Amino acid sequence: MKNIISRTLLSLLVAGGFAAQANAAEKVTLKVAHFLPTASIAHWDMIEPWCEKINKESEGRLECQIYPAMQLGGTPPQLLTQARDGVADIVWTLPGYTPGRFPISEVFELPFFAPDHQKTTRALWDFSEKHAFKSEFAGLKPIGIWVNGPNYFHMRDKEVKTVEGLQGLKIRAASRMSNNFLTAVGANAMGMPLPQAVEGISKGVLDGLMVPWEVVPAVKLDELTKYHAEIKDEQGNGMATSTMIYVMNKAKYDSLPDDLKKVIDNNSGADTSAWIASRFEAADVKGREAAEKAGGVIYSWSQEEVNKLKGASSQVAQQWIDDMTSKGMKGQALYDDARALVEKYNKK
């Protein structure tokens, strides 16, 4: 009887060991969603390489199923909710699509605030980790947080070279800060997700879009817009930028075994964010080339007009500071810390 019990226990232990090994080796498929087509830089030069990397480092146990162009349903502003609710495991989106949900980190979207993709991205990661992770990223595991390139004016059929020329024009921007900027300088700000804006520019409902170069070929703005105004101040700061996020459902992350969590951790953070920013920086060059090839007119504003633009939009930063203060936060201190981090990293 004792031998029978021993053999039974041994069989149970062996079976348990095999089950544990099977669980450890089980594949996890991550649903990754975003709002642009597969031709977009984010899809083929950021999300796909990231997915390939975690697949390799997990020895095939982590894999991605990518859903571009809102294939999981809904609209771009709903991506963040999809990530928090687990409809998607990971999403790439813009905080600007959900105004009010990222009020702290949107300081990096203020006019003439950011001079460099990768260096400013490192400042943004540090700032967000210090001030925004607990509040703005509740329910999420931040993988990457970055700024895209300078947002320029891409106009359908109007060559605008002055602040006066902007008056009353219908221009789309991606975020609350950029819309505040457009309003401050006299344009008619049209806040909407990019896919909707592309339809608007093609039908002539919009006069132009305020986006970085990298967007141009992905949504055929090289065909839909004729005039492209590159506007920077004397310090090299673009007139606007957008923050972007690549985030994972926290419950999904927590459900992973420790070794797979480590793979995700090793592919998250400041270095990952800077790498993503580098992909968008390279794409800006290609976007500009696409506009040139299509016969687009690319030009700059005079420094005198850029200074007028800065002056007209200077109130936007103070509005943000006052807004933060009204919410019980130290608005000026937050602004000063963000500004100091941008200066710190851009001096290196």
- Strands 152-155 and 208-211 turn out to be antiparallel
CA distances from 13 to 4, 6, 7 (A): 14, 10, 10
Which domains are seen in the chain, by residue range?
A: 27-108+115-147+242-283 (3.40.190.170), 152-241+287-346 (3.40.190.170)
Query: What pLDDT is stored for residue 58 in this prediction?
Result: 98
H helix intervals, the chain? 2-25, 41-42, 48-57, 79-85, 117-131, 133-136, 163-166, 176-184, 194-202, 215-218, 221-224, 250-255, 258-266, 270-293, 303-313, 315-326, 331-346
Query: What pLDDT is stored for residue 28 in this prediction?
Result: 98
Query: What pLDDT is stored for residue 116 in this prediction?
Result: 85
Q: Which portions of the chain are predicted below pLDDT 70?
A: 1-25, 348
Query: Rounded distance, CA 213 to CA 286, Å?
Result: 8
Query: What pLDDT is stored for residue 22 in this prediction?
Result: 42
Alpha carbons within 13 A on the beta-carbon side of 170 = 11
Are the CB atoms for 93 and 84 separated by under 8 Å?
no
Q: Please name the amino acid found at residue 203.
A: K
End-to-end distance of the chain based on CA atoms, in angstroms?
75
Are the CB atoms for 173 and 322 separated by under 8 Å?
no
Query: What pLDDT is stored for residue 20 in this prediction?
Result: 43
Query: What pLDDT is stored for residue 218 in this prediction?
Result: 87
Q: Specify the pTM.
A: 0.90
Query: Rounded distance, CA 77 to CA 24, Å?
Result: 36
CA distances from 160 to 15, 170, 242, 295 (A): 73, 13, 22, 17
